[in-house]
Structure 1
Amino acid sequence: MESIELIQKMSSADAADWILEKYGLNNQNYYEAFEFIKKKSWKRVDQIKLARFYLAKMPFASALPYEVFASFMALQPFLMVIRECKPLRLEDINLMLYHLIPVLRKMVKTQKDSEMVTKFLADISQGRSLS
């Protein structure tokens, strides 16, 4: 795929901008962005920029978007973006959690990670503000 080679040659910031421009959320094939996103090493600022943009469309019909971002983001910024972008409707939160919980379980590597995920899930289940 030519475009993957193209973004691999770009800086992290330029590649993020290119993906956001080419695969906007209103684009019918925006889902293709996840293929590009997982093929590059991203600076933290660009990780967060991409995650905020695409995770704003939560919930998803599969775990793929969560898995893509979880594959290169640290747990704390990943949870921060999920908190910012979480859906408002209970049905949407339930769908988000259905796909997100297994991803979060795989991300847990330490006791601190486990505590962060437990707190995150408790906050959601109690309906508290997640900010």
Structure 2
Amino acid sequence: MALFNSLEHTTNTAVKKGETFLKNSEQYYKLKTFQVVTLSISLLVKATIIGLFLLIAFIFIAVALSNVISDYLNNKTLGYLLVALLYVVFAIITYILRKSIENSIIKNLSKNFFDDEEHI
């Protein structure tokens, strides 16, 4: 009889520890999901804000550069076309290097999202 009582006590203890483990695991994964979502949204907002300011800066730089080139060539149209051509060259270079850019972004983001030791 003592053997059955001991076995029942051990079984009950194992069940309680298993339930506690499952509850803690669920809380951990909820917290981890919240962390990943929050970091993603934060990264997206920061990138959008920085990107907007850089876009405005590039527009002003492009207009200024176009004016400088058009004054040098005494032809406004040609100045603006040369700057547009410069941006087309940048776009082609970016298109050619797109795989290495994607790989670099994936490596940097994976460090943030999958390195459990730094963010917990």
Is TM (by shorter chain) over 0.5?
no
Task: Please identify which structure carries the higher helix content.
Answer: 2
TM-score by length of 1: 0.23
- The structure, 1 or 2, with the larger RCO (C-alpha pairs under 8 Å, 6+ apart) is 1
Rg comparison, structure with higher value: 2
TM-score by length of 2: 0.25
